[in-house]
Amino acid sequence: MSSRACPVCSYDNVEQIGQDPLDMKVLYKCPRCGPFLLTELVFVKYERKLKSSKLSAWIRAHSEQKKEPPTISTDFLENHLKDLPEHTPKEKMLLFLGVLKKRAEYTGELVEIKCKTDYPLVHASQWQEMACLSQELDRLGYIKNNLASGGNLSCQMLTEGEGHLEKHETQIASLVTFDHHPKSKFLNSQYIDEQFKKCESRIDHGDYEGALTSAKTFLEAILQEISNVHEEKQNKDKSTLPKLFKQTLKNTSLGNIDDHTKVILRGLITTVHGLSELRNKAGDSHPSKITPDKRHAQLAVNTAKTIACFLAE
């Protein structure tokens, strides 16, 4: 066991524990970022890139959600670091309210906040920014901020703050979990348009079964993308669309949409799944089942597009 400054946030004397002698992974236990794994090779090669407040916030989010310590890999630094979101002051204030809510047992309870170690929680770039956010929230009447010294705050959530947080429940869930990636491969309007055109052209060529299959595959790709972080837990081959949707709800911030919307979405997804299963049913020993025709294909494709647009919003 040894110690060195945190390669991400420069916190002094962070405990390092060697994990796997083969690939030389080291577990860092940073009081600010939370625990994470890094190989010596990545440390040396990306020393500058690692110093990122966005990365610090991303690592901290893992420990807050009680996930396994993330491994900071070459692939992550090269391809995904740039996609971590940049938050507006308004979003950071929402995150601050979220921290208060999480730590208080009841509205109005005094909560101690140590800005110097807690600032990654609100995606701030340094502790002073977190202190400023608390002053702004106080000015807006959302919290009462009893400022102590050295970046240690003692805050109380006010009813207005609680109300503001409730109004933005879904938004804060995606901020906290990093689930919403606007630059993601599938969750953008261009991809959705392309896939939709593909389905339409199949319908135009009379390939109704093909259009149904495309619509289903297209939705599967989107749901997979949303729950990408948890992908290893899923069995892609056996997951039917409704099952995949259920898993996605459970694993991601999508689970925080209101119950009515969930019921509607579930219904729509079952529709696409059901229609795409028509082909199997039509082919086996149930001759009385419907063979997909143009109307069915059109219904599946349009429904898939509706769901995709909703999810990508």
Footprint of Zn ion (CB under 5 A): 6, 8-9, 11, 30, 32-33
Q: How far is the CB of 6 from Zn ion (least distance, A)?
A: 3
Q: How far is the CB of 55 from Zn ion (least distance, A)?
A: 9
Nearer to Zn ion, 33 or 249 (CB): 33
Nearer to Zn ion, 30 or 155 (CB): 30
Angle between helices 127-139 and 89-103 (to 10 degrees): 90
- Indicate the SS3 state at residue 156: strand
Nearer to Zn ion, 4 or 183 (CB): 4
Q: How far is the CB of 295 from Zn ion (least distance, A)?
A: 58
Q: How far is the CB of 57 from Zn ion (least distance, A)?
A: 11
Nearer to Zn ion, 33 or 203 (CB): 33
Mapping DSSP onto H, E and C, the string for 203-269 reads: HHCCCHHHHHHHHHHHHHHHHHHHCHHHHHHCCCCCCCHHHHHHHHHHHCHHHHCCHHHHHHHHHHH
- C-alpha distances (whole Å) from 5 to each of 28, 34, 124, 145 are 10, 13, 19, 31
Kindly state the DSSP code that residue 124 receives in the 8-state scheme: -
Nearer to Zn ion, 35 or 292 (CB): 35
Largest CA distance in the chain: 78
Rounded to 5 degrees, what angle do the CA atoms 188, 191, 193 make?
105
Q: How far is the CB of 32 from Zn ion (least distance, A)?
A: 4
Q: What is the residue whose two structure tokens read 């610090």?
A: 56
